[in-house]
Amino acid sequence: MNILGKNGRVRRYMKGLIVKLPWIDLILEGKKPWEIRGSHTTIRGKIALIKSGTGCVWGTVEVLDSRRLTEEEYQHSEHLHCIPNTDINPLPYKRIHAWVLGNPQPFKEPLPYQHPLGAVIWVNLS
């Protein structure tokens, strides 16, 4: 992904999404094409997947879409988000969004990165 730096020049970086276990493993195995979050994302394309608490990038995936779900859609899409129906009540967020993922690419060996203070969802990786 490209953005303009402070000097007006294009700077190259990749977004890294922080994901907890067991969800990151399911995403990288291609078994979890929806990541459930409480907000929409405009980010599209290839991103890095960071396993929460490890300080490492474990692979990449493409963000294809982001869509708001109704409670009914969420409850009938367990096969896409992998959250068991027994865990649905209460709902995980006031507003439920499915970040649609595709083309997972796990790394053979995780890559360390420098975690910035305060990063909870996204990290900018150079």
Asked, for residue 116, whether it belongs to a domain, the answer is no
Asked, for residue 119, whether it belongs to a domain, the answer is no
Q: What is the DSSP string of 61-108?
A: EEEEEEEEE-HHHHHT-HHHH---GGG-SSPS-SSEEEEEEEEEEEEE
Asked, for residue 7, whether it belongs to a domain, the answer is no
pLDDT tens profile 90-120: 676 789 999 999 999 999 999 999 998 888 9
Cα Rg, the chain, nearest whole Å: 15
CATH number, domain with residue 67: 2.30.130.30
- For residue 91, the enclosing domain spans 18-110
Asked, for residue 36, whether it belongs to a domain, the answer is yes
Predicted TM-score (pTM) of the model is 0.86
Asked, for residue 1, whether it belongs to a domain, the answer is no
pLDDT tens profile 48-107: 999 999 999 999 999 999 999 998 898 899 999 998 876 556 676 789 999 999 999 999
Query: Which amino acid is present at 51?
Result: K
34-37 and 122-125 strand pairing: unpaired
Please say whether the beta carbons of 27 and 104 come within 8 A.
yes
Q: Compute the average pLDDT of residues 21-26.
A: 97
Asked, for residue 60, whether it belongs to a domain, the answer is yes
Looking at the 3D structure of the chain, how many domains does it have? 1
Pairwise pLDDT comparison (46 vs 118), residue with the higher score: 46
Pick from 44, 38, 48: nearest CA to 17: 48
Asked, for residue 100, whether it belongs to a domain, the answer is yes
Provide the 3-class DSSP secondary structure of residue 27. Answer: helix
